[in-house]
């Protein structure tokens, strides 16, 4: 499978056309960004680690009945995926308070959220991905009420499945962000699931094993991602 024209370049991945109808190639780069693209660094091996990590999670979710865009791995840092029309929306679930919710609501970092809380954000770096609600999504025509309900339901299912997967490997899935899109009238989980877009803590020590290591300058970023992968039984 050969890359065709480059269609889009995001902060950590590029999207290419390919010769399979209705499919695209995702290239996972080593670029690592934080603060809406204000800080970008190259981290050796990150593209490979995230590509394999994402493939593992997408296949796990697919087997558990979540429809995902993932089709197959095609190289160390590339995957073949369904071509989706993406919604400009990020779906976030938090099991433990950390990051922006602590700043916005003045709550203590590390408190358990029971039940887990759900938030929508608008994908817009220039506006710093503002939080939006279901009414905004409908009024501005970003998605229908039916799709909103479906995205929310799928995100809760993903949370249930992955929280258990991580817990069984002595880790806490603190929070995560996922994105959805459509192909032929069907909703699919798109984009990626990797430690770039979630928070994962060691269950005992609460050591950070995700992109917060980069945001906070703690070092050992890719090493932490590899540790998470290894704990899940994945060779990277």
Our CB check for ligand ASP shows the closer of 33 and 95 to be 33
Which option in ligand TMP, ligand ASP, none does residue 166 bind, with CB closer than 5 to 8 A by kind? none
* Residue 121 found at the interface with ligand TMP (CB under 6 A): yes
CB atoms within 10 A of CB 120: 22
Choose the contact partner of 34 out of ligand TMP, ligand ASP, none; CB within 5 to 8 A by kind. ligand ASP
How many other β-carbons are positioned within 10 Å of the β-carbon of residue 156? 15
> Which neighbouring-strand residues pair with 125?
none
Ranges within 16-45 binding ligand TMP (CB under 6 A): none
Tokens 């996922």 correspond to what residue? 178
Binder of residue 11, out of ligand TMP, ligand ASP, none (CB less than 5 to 8 A by kind): ligand ASP
Of 2-10, 81-89, 171-179, 186-194, the segment contacting ligand TMP by CB under 6 A is: 171-179
Going residue by residue from 70 to 109, which x/- string records binding to ligand TMP, judged by CB under 6 A? --------------------x-x------xxx--------
- Residue 175 binding: pick among ligand ASP, ligand TMP, none (C-beta 5-8 Å cut-off by kind): ligand TMP
Longest pairwise C-alpha distance within the chain: 50
Q: How many residues does the chain have?
A: 236
Told to check if 220 binds ligand TMP by CB under 6 A, we report no
Q: Which residues pair with 187 in a beta bridge?
A: 182
Tokens of 134: 């279901």
Residues that bind ligand ASP (CB under 6 A): 11, 33-37, 129, 211
Please report whether residue 57 would count as binding ligand TMP according to CB under 6 A: no
Q: Rounded distance, CA 204 to CA 183, Å? A: 41
Based on the shown chain and the rule CB under 6 A, indicate whether residue 129 belongs to the binding site for ligand TMP: yes
Confirm if 88 and 127 have CB atoms less than 8 A apart. no
Cβ 33 to ligand ASP shortest distance, Å: 5
For the chain, the 3-state helix, strand and coil shares in percent, each to the nearest 5, are 30, 35, 35
* Residue showing tokens 């010769």: 19
């Amino acid at each position: 499978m050969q890359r065709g024209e480059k269609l889009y370049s995001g902060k950590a991945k590029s999207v290419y056309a390919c010769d399979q109808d209705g499919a695209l190639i995702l290239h996972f780069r080593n670029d690592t960004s934080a603060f809406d693209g204000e800080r970008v660094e190259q981290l050796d091996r990150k593209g490979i680690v995230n590509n394999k990590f994402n493939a593992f999670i997408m296949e796990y979710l697919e087997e558990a009945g979540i429809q995902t865009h993932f089709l197959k791995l095609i190289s160390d840092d590339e995957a073949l995926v369904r071509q989706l029309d993406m919604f400009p929306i990020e779906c976030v679930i938090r099991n433990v308070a950390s990051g922006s919710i602590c700043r916005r609501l003045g709550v203590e970092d590390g408190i358990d959220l029971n039940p887990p809380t759900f938030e929508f954000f608008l994908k817009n770096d220039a506006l710093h991905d503002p939080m939006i609600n279901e009414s905004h999504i409908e009024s501005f025509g970003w998605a229908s009420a039916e799709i909103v309900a479906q995205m929310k339901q799928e995100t809760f299912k993903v949370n249930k499945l992955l929280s258990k997967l991580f817990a069984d490997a002595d880790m806490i899935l603190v929070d995560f962000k996922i994105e959805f899109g459509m192909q032929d009238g069907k909703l699919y989980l798109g984009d990626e699931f990797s430690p770039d877009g979630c928070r994962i803590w060691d269950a005992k020590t609460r050591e950070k094993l995700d992109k917060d290591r980069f945001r906070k300058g703690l070092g050992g970023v890719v090493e932490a991602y590899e540790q998470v992968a290894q704990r899940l039984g994945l060779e990277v």
